[in-house]
Structure 1
Amino acid sequence: MKRPVLTLSAVCMAALGSAVGGGTAHAGPDAPCTYTLSPPEVSGDTVSSTAVIAGCGAAAGPYSAVACIQPLVKDSVIQCSQARGADPATISVPYHPGTTYIATGRGCAAWALQPASPPCQILGPFTATL
């Protein structure tokens, strides 16, 4: 007699679990602001990339922008620059002809003057051999 009760309990718990936690996953909200990132560009003896705010939705404003460049050479490291508010973030590294550079970044927004509000917009990667 105990066996049917345990089976019925297990079936009820499984049904309850799927009703409560078995929903469909949805993508998170879009970032409240839109940022752009320039591909790696040569200017004189440097290569640079800039992350800049392109616009924000209602009740949102720019919080920060980050631009990064990594030359694809042995022992290279990624270098980044961060800017606050609506200021553009520009990173520059020494130019070496024939080197491949990867530019990445992110832009973060704030809702109604609050600290950074996820999600931040991931920018790039842009790859260029210069």
Structure 2
Amino acid sequence: MVRRADVTLASVLGAVLAAAFAMVTASAPATAEPESPPCAFALTPPRLVDVSGTPMVTASVNPAGCSVAAEPTSSVACVQMEGSSAVQQCASTEGPGTAKVFYGPYRPGATYVATGRGCASTGNPPRSLCQTAGPLTATL
């Protein structure tokens, strides 16, 4: 024979467990897909150029297309000689322009690394979303 107190206790415990399970499953975070960048940015690999008779390494970052509701706000291009303790050299531009960096001094046979970053504004209210590009390397 089952006592009334045992039935009531089992009913209460069952209800508590069901409520706890519902709370755990309801509070589990939803996995949203990562937001795609509103603009694409193109990074050029490092290349050797002549600047007024001085050999330098250059790279650039420029907007390569945006969704209808986005506008590029900045671009940054950087170059560094691989294995060098020297700080990378960077150049930036605001708006939809191209950021172009010139690295010197050039050392023949060295490997150079280009990296970049581009930001765009989208949404209402507007917010900035940035993305990185690279690294791209070249032995020059």
Q: TM over 0.5, yes or no?
A: yes
Q: Distance in 1 between matches of 2:125 and 2:81?
A: 35
Q: Is the 1:40–1:47 contact (alpha carbons within 8 Å) kept by the matching residues of 2?
A: yes
TM-score, normalisation: structure 1:
0.83
Q: Distance in 2 between matches of 1:51 and 1:101?
A: 16
Aligned with 2:97: secondary structure? coil
Q: Which amino acid counterpart does residue 56 of structure 1 have in structure 2?
A: C
C-alpha distance 114-127 of structure 1, shift in aligned 2 (>3 A): farther
Q: Which amino acid counterpart does residue 121 of structure 1 have in structure 2?
A: Q
Alignment match of 1:48 (pick from 58, 69, 74): 58
Match of 1:37 in 2: 43
C-alpha distance 19-113 of structure 1, shift in aligned 2 (>3 A): closer
Match of 2:110 in 1: 99
Q: Which amino acid counterpart does residue 139 of structure 2 have in structure 1?
A: T
Q: Percent identity?
A: 38
Q: Are positions 1:128 and 2:135 aligned together?
A: no
Q: Distance in 2 between matches of 1:32 and 1:105?
A: 16
Q: Is the 1:106–1:123 contact (alpha carbons within 8 Å) kept by the matching residues of 2?
A: yes
How far 1:15 sits from its partner (Å)?
3.4
How far 1:13 sits from its partner (Å)?
2.3
How far 1:115 sits from its partner (Å)?
5.7
Alignment match of 1:64 (pick from 61, 68, 74): 74
Count of residues paired in the alignment: 128
Cα-Cα RMSD: 2.5
Q: Distance in 1 between matches of 2:86 and 2:15?
A: 62
How far 1:79 sits from its partner (Å)?
1.8
C-alpha distance 113-9 of structure 1, shift in aligned 2 (>3 A): closer
Structure 2 portions without partners, runs of 5+: 1-5
Q: Distance in 2 between matches of 1:114 and 1:65?
A: 22
Match of 2:20 in 1: 13
Structure 1 portions without partners, runs of 5+: none
Higher CA-based Rg: 2
TM-score, normalisation: structure 2:
0.77
Q: Distance in 2 between matches of 1:115 and 1:99?
A: 43
